[in-house]
Amino acid sequence: MKKTTQKTVDKFGPGACVAVEIPLGDGSVSMLTGKIVSRDAEHIVLASAALIKDTGRRTQFFAGQYDSNCEIEVYADDVQLPALGAVLYAWPHPLPTSQR
């Protein structure tokens, strides 16, 4: 009998679209979206990255709906983020590509 193997795919590996929550020193957080270029114990590098300044209601944000007051800062180049304390979420929605 032939043995089959399943390949495990890292949902937070290179090419995965994610939302990344970064804790800040004042107790608040920054939220970014993007596509993972690389990731190790120290850094997460995102392509097509955008800083979401105000996510509004988290439930709506994670459903891909942006609050009307939501500011989005789009980055032109890859962005290197600290991995320590970062929380990654799968992002099944289109990545924001325009500043507002």
Domain boundaries, the chain: 17-90
Mean pLDDT of all residues in 46-51 = 96
The pLDDT value recorded for residue 67 is: 78
Sign of CA dihedral 53, 59, 61, 66: negative
Classified as helix, coil or strand, 59 is helix
Tokens, residue 58: 């988290």
pLDDT at residue 4, as a whole number? 55
Confidence check: pLDDT of 47 > 60? yes
Select the more confidently predicted residue: 17 or 3: 17
d(CA 21, CA 24): 10
Which pTM does this prediction carry?
Answer: 0.84
Nearest Cα to Cα of residue 91 among 62, 67, 49, 59: 62
Find out whether 31 and 21 touch, Cβ atoms under 8 Å: yes
DSSP 7: P
CATH domain 17-90 topology: SH3 type barrels. (2.30.30)
pLDDT, residue 16, reads 95
Asked whether residue 38 carries a pLDDT value surpassing 90, the answer given is yes
